[in-house]
Amino acid sequence: MDDQGDRYREGRPELVAYVLAVLTLIGLGILLTTIVLNWIVGPTLAVVLVVAYTSLCRRVMGRR
Amino acid sequence: MSWAAHELESYFLQKHTKIRVSYLAILLGCLAPDFTKFHVYGLDIGPIHLKAAKHPYEYHRGWPGVGPTHSLMFGVALFVFVLLVFRSKQWALGLLIGQWAHVLTDICDSVGTMVFFPFSTQHYTIGMWAYAAQQGKYGDAAAYYSSLGGVWDFFWLLMVLTGFQVLSAGYFFAHVVPNDPVWGWLRRRFHLRDVTLLAMYRAFFLYGACRIIAWFTWSRLVRHAPLDWSWGGPYWVNKVVLPHEPWATFAWNTTRSLVLFPLSLYLLWVLFGRRLWNRGQELPALL
């Protein structure tokens, strides 16, 4: 189990990605309210944003 | 009704449940009673037009209506159904824990829940904030995030953040994944990477936290709704309050339920619950 816990490590790119995702979700939430803030779009968008930003941040910060 | 609390309490429960239980099942259990909520506000998506219920509180929390989804017995029904059909102990327990948490959380608003249905249709409420679903989605949001309801959501956000390890990658791979084969199935079926699985696990935390901040900010900056953190507020909304029962009726309903509910649980367990539980499986993680 501990091996599984150690297999995925998070660093600065992941942290930045989550911060960006949170800021985007809050911004879109205030502007679009129910279009974003519902049980289907909200969590789906959270996943999409985190994955996209993580990939972007790793590339920009030079980590694969 | 509570808003983001239902998403956030799933992480808290996952962390503090010391038995093998599925996180996804807890989350689904926390959300399940509100799966019928679309009729509360009405729905307009493309060609689909569903009118809002004339009296949302009667439909959503009452009987006749879908109020029984907000009773402890509904959680028991989910528990039995999952054990009977899927034989998964982790999922049966998770749904039960999550659904019961939802029922108990929703007693905080001014309508409350029929905790002991079908033994009684008595509503239990502490009236901490106004039930205002009849104001529509926007009116309800403004009222909720201007009252102690919003504070309640912030409280659950704080509860999760104080146990932030529950959101870590280590915790997810060491405790959440091994308790639920669904994660392994998702990985294989959709070829998901660790980053995606982890984002899916954290999705309802991110969504819940952002939902609180976004609606709170919207209520202040766009709606300009006055804050009222007094008990039962906000003062400016026309809230639903059920007529007070005489104390004798309340006492009789409660006493009867406190006898019949545990008795029915015992009988269910003896007649077939124990057999279902014993043939249930603790499914191994397939990740």
pLDDT at A2: 42
Say what the pLDDT of residue B47 is. 81
Query: Whole-angstrom Cα distance, residue B242 to residue B111?
Result: 6
Cβ contact, residue pair B170, A6, below 8 Å: yes
Q: What is the pLDDT along chain A (64 residues), one digit of tens a residue?
A: 444 545 678 889 999 999 999 999 999 999 999 999 999 999 999 999 999 999 999 999 986 5
- HSE (side-chain half, CA atoms, 13 Å) at A50: 26
**Average pLDDT of span B253-261:** 98
Question: Would you say the pTM of this structure is higher than 0.90?
Answer: yes
Q: What mean pLDDT is predicted for residues B45-74?
A: 91
Smallest Cβ–Cβ distance between A54 and the set B169, B195, B209 belongs to B195
Number of CB pairs < 8 Å for A and B? 91
ipTM: 0.92
Residues B10 and B14: their CA atoms lie apart, in Å, by 6
Tell me the one-letter amino acid at B166: V
Note the pLDDT of residue A55. Answer: 95
Mean pLDDT within B238-265: 95
| pLDDT tens sequence across B184-209 | 999 999 999 999 999 999 999 999 99
C-alpha to C-alpha distance for B247 and B159, rounded to whole angstroms? 35
pLDDT (0 to 100) of residue B38: 83
**Per-residue pLDDT, A7:** 66
Rounded Cα distance between B280 and A50, Å, is: 36
B206·A44 Cβ contact <8 A: no
CB B162 within 8 A of CB B150: no
Contact between chains at A47 and B194 (C-beta distance less than 8 A): no
Average pLDDT over residues B112-120: 97
**pLDDT tens digits for B132-151?**
999 999 999 999 999 999 99
B190 exposure class (CB count in 10 Å sphere: 0-12, 13-18, 19+)? exposed
Q: Give the pLDDT of residue B99.
A: 98
Q: Between B37 and B83, whose confidence is greater?
A: B83
* B284 pLDDT above the threshold of 80: no
**Which candidate from B194, B200, B210 shows the least CB-CB separation from A26?**
B210
Looking at the partner chain, which of B203, B218, B287 has a beta carbon nearest the beta carbon of A46? B203
- Does the beta carbon of B206 lie under 8 angstroms from any beta carbon of chain A? yes
Mean pLDDT value across chain B: 94
Residues A9, B170: contact at Cβ < 8 Å? Answer: no
Residue B62, burial from CB neighbour count under 10 angstroms (0-12, 13-18, 19+): buried
Q: Which helix (H) or strand (E) holds A4?
A: helix A2-6
**Residue B43 contacts A, CB cutoff 8 Å:** no
Give strand pairing partners of B129: B109, B233
Is residue B27 within 8 Å of residue B98, measured between CB atoms?
yes
Subunit contact A33:B215, Cβ cutoff 8 A: yes
Is there a contact between A54 and B211 if contact means CB atoms under 8 Å apart? no
